[in-house]
Amino acid sequence: MSSIDKGFSEKRDFIRMKISAPLSAKLSHHEGVIEGLCRDLSGGGMQVETKTHIAVGTELVVEISSDHGHNPTLHAKAKVARSAGDADSGYVLGLEIVEIIK
């Protein structure tokens, strides 16, 4: 079956998993750590909620940990592909995974 024959939800290269896991991110030019919540995750990226605005194109190192203490955590370099929201309601970021860090 070609991608034309597939339904819209099946055209992705990676399956998107809904999760709710704590996320910490370190910007390449910033000394502090930004906290957030990873809402969904796929092989190519993730959707993150945070109170901090991060501009599109910004590169960062993210770590997602399990609430249940399972290891290993996901540790990856990512780039902000989308950003929506405001300071009052928070921001929803679309992050593209650039590289998995071991």
User: pTM here?
Assistant: 0.76
Tell me the C-alpha distance between 31 and 78, whole Å.
Answer: 17
The tens digit of pLDDT for each residue in 25-62 reads 777 666 678 888 888 888 889 999 999 999 999 999 98
Residue 76: CB atoms within 10 A of its CB come to 18
pLDDT at 28: 67
Q: Return the higher-pLDDT residue of 82 and 37.
A: 82
pLDDT at 42: 85
3-state secondary structure the chain: CCCCCCCHHHCCCCCCEEEEEEEEEEECCCCCEEEEEEEEECCCEEEEEECCCCCCCCEEEEEECCCCCCCCCEEEEEEEEEEEEECCCEEEEEEEEEEECC
Tell me the C-alpha distance between 47 and 24, whole Å.
Answer: 13
Q: Return the higher-pLDDT residue of 68 and 91.
A: 91
pLDDT at 92: 95
pLDDT at 83: 96
pLDDT at 19: 77
Kindly state the percentage of the chain with pLDDT values over 90. Answer: 37
